[in-house]
Structure 1
Amino acid sequence: MADSEHAGVEDAWTPVPGAAVGWLSELDPDHCYSGFEPPRRPDAAWILHAMYAWKEGLVTTTHDDVHQSVRAAGLTEPDVTADADLGDLLEGAVVTGTGLGRSGHPGAGWRRLRWAELARGFGEPPVPEGELPGNRCLRQAHPTGSWSAAIAPPAEGCLDRESWQRLIGVLIRHDLGGEDAECLAYYCPLVTAEWDDETVLAGRLGDAAALYDHPAMQSCPSNLWADDRSWVVYCDWDLWGTKVVGPVSLIEALLADPELEALRLPWTG
């Protein structure tokens, strides 16, 4: 994104006092560091973060296998850390292939792989009952923790770019204010590294798609909500899914959207 476009995002979204997120904190006091999960108001759905498969087919080689092979060949520098204990801990870590933060279509040669398609092949639901969309899902696809190198798995902590843009379009069509609807965006401390002050921005819903590339952030907002609180978006830094709560008509539109993969998870409230 060009510098002028970065400036446009920052001009369109202005900081407001952190107290603006207080009502969400009251709804979910235990999730202040990774985003606030609101209960259904009155309905809710989870948008599953997109994953992609190499069009030529899957392989048994995992992302960790590739990483270990590259390191063994001396093609990358060994990980260096000032903390020897941390270095020992990371030595046996598995490279899962899952990214953290922004993601999007990998480019030519890749196709969208729906959670439902992969889960159907294993005879299991995309999200097991009682679970949230995260690393406990689709376990047969990554039994060792590392995914096939021919799969770009769902990103953690942030909705993928294409789904974010699609979501904003649906919100614009269902909010009475349309593009001019006032809304607020909250970025949790795990995104901002600001542990003493809440980071909240205010702007127009019509400018919310550009928040995905806010130069000061590495993620979409942890929460985005209408000023009248009629809908709320929640993206936990530790999950592979983004929750949207609001009117039944909005939720049904998300569930029916052909570009989104969304589902209701009643046990999440």
Structure 2
Amino acid sequence: MENADIEGAWARVPGETARWLHDLDPDHCYSGFEPPRNPDSAWLLHAMYAWEEGLVTTTHDDVHQSVLGAGLVEPPDPAGEAPGDVGDLLEGAIVTGTELGRSGDPGAGWRRLRWRELARGFGEPAVPDGELPGNRCLRQGHPAGSWSAAIRPPAEGCLDRESWHRLIGVLLRHSLDGAATRCLAYYCPLVTADWDDETVLAGRLGDAAGLYDHPAMASCPSDLWAEDRSWVVYCDWDLWGTKVVGPTSLVQALLDDPGLEAVRLPWTR
């Protein structure tokens, strides 16, 4: 779907249409609203990839420091900035390798690395008890903060492109009106940088795959839901996982889909 078609298919509607989600989760307005598990839920783990020729001990931060040392990129210049500005924050920061926002299959030479596969090698669960899918998971894969340069770790804040398209396909099969299902998409201020007005778009589920590349956004929606609220998709800007709430039949379909990596996290609300 071309950019003009995406913008034409999704119209801006009043922010009040997301008020019910705010009421369910009043503390998360800046990074997305988490709906409670009702009646069921699963988390989609954002995809990661490994270099097919094997892992290396060199990290993404090592690569960054080498490039910086060779003068191929300019270091941040905090001169003239007040303490606490971006320059101060970047100085000495570790490059983790984790992307923020959209991500996808990097192409030739890379293979999908399942969370369960990596966790099994470490002898730990993919998502530890009591945790959400995020930077506290798979800690042995990034013990000092930065991942091996031979791994593309899960993106933060946005489901990967391939999983988004798979998800929309499952939702189409489990929505009574199929492609004609009316939907709403909320984008949090950390995506839009609009701190004054709630950004909500309305459209059809049949056009939801194209939302991934909406030209005005850097991410998939923070929340996407059917107008009848039969299911809700929640993607927190700070997490490596996307929560889907809805009927058990929908959740089970996500768990069974070979193109997705989904888990139930019973300790989440």
Q: Note if 1:182 corresponds to 2:179.
A: no
Q: Which amino acid aligns with 1:24?
A: L
Q: Which amino acid aligns with 2:169?
A: G
Q: Which residue of 2 aligns with 1:35?
A: 32
What does residue range 236-247 of structure 1 map to in structure 2 within 5 Å? Answer: 236-247=236-247
Q: Which amino acid aligns with 1:233?
A: V
Q: Number of paired residues? A: 266
Q: Which residue of 2 aligns with 1:165?
A: 165
Q: Which residue of 1 aligns with 2:228?
A: 228
Q: Note if 1:83 corresponds to 2:81.
A: yes
The match for 2:23 among 10, 22, 26 is: 26
Q: Distance in 1 between matches of 2:197 and 2:66?
A: 43
- SS of the residue corresponding to residue 267 of structure 2 reads helix
| Range with bigger deviation, 81-90 or 133-142 | 81-90
The match for 1:59 among 56, 59, 70 is: 56
Q: Which amino acid aligns with 2:261?
A: E
Instruction: Give how far 1:83 is off.
Output: 2.1
Q: Distance in 2 between matches of 1:89 and 1:101?
A: 20
Q: Which amino acid aligns with 2:74?
A: E
Give the fraction of aligned pairs with identical amino acids, expressed as a percent. Answer: 79
Q: Which residue of 2 aligns with 1:50?
A: 47
Q: Deviations over 1:24-74 (max 9, x none)?
A: 011100000000000012000000000000000000000000000111111
Q: Distance in 1 between matches of 2:196 and 2:211?
A: 23
Q: Which amino acid aligns with 1:35?
A: G
Q: Deviations over 1:115-146 (max 9, x none)?
A: 00000000000000000000000000000000
Q: Distance in 2 between matches of 1:84 and 1:54?
A: 41
Unaligned stretches of 5+ in structure 1?
none
Q: Which amino acid aligns with 1:184?
A: L
- SS of the residue corresponding to residue 185 of structure 1 reads strand
Q: Which amino acid aligns with 2:172?
A: I
Structure 1 length normalisation: TM-score?
0.97
Q: Note if 1:208 corresponds to 2:208.
A: yes
Q: Which residue of 2 aligns with 1:95?
A: 95
Q: Note if 1:8 corresponds to 2:5.
A: yes
Q: Distance in 1 between matches of 2:30 and 2:68?
A: 34
Q: Which amino acid aligns with 1:45?
A: A
Instruction: Give how far 1:88 is off.
Output: 3.4
Q: Which residue of 2 aligns with 1:154?
A: 154
Q: Distance in 1 between matches of 2:192 and 2:72?
A: 33
Instruction: Give how far 1:91 is off.
Output: 1.4
Instruction: Give how far 1:80 is off.
Output: 3.1
Q: Which residue of 1 aligns with 2:122?
A: 122
Q: Distance in 2 between matches of 1:228 and 1:41?
A: 14
Provide the alpha-carbon RMSD of the alignment.
1.0
Q: Which amino acid aligns with 1:32?
A: C
Unaligned stretches of 5+ in structure 2?
none
Q: Which amino acid aligns with 1:178?
A: G
Q: Distance in 2 between matches of 1:161 and 1:195?
A: 26
Q: Distance in 2 between matches of 1:134 and 1:254?
A: 20
Instruction: Give how far 1:84 is off.
Output: 5.2
- SS of the residue corresponding to residue 268 of structure 1 reads coil
Q: Distance in 1 between matches of 2:150 and 2:210?
A: 30
Q: Distance in 2 between matches of 1:73 and 1:179?
A: 52
Q: Which amino acid aligns with 2:200?
A: V
Q: Distance in 2 between matches of 1:84 and 1:194?
A: 24
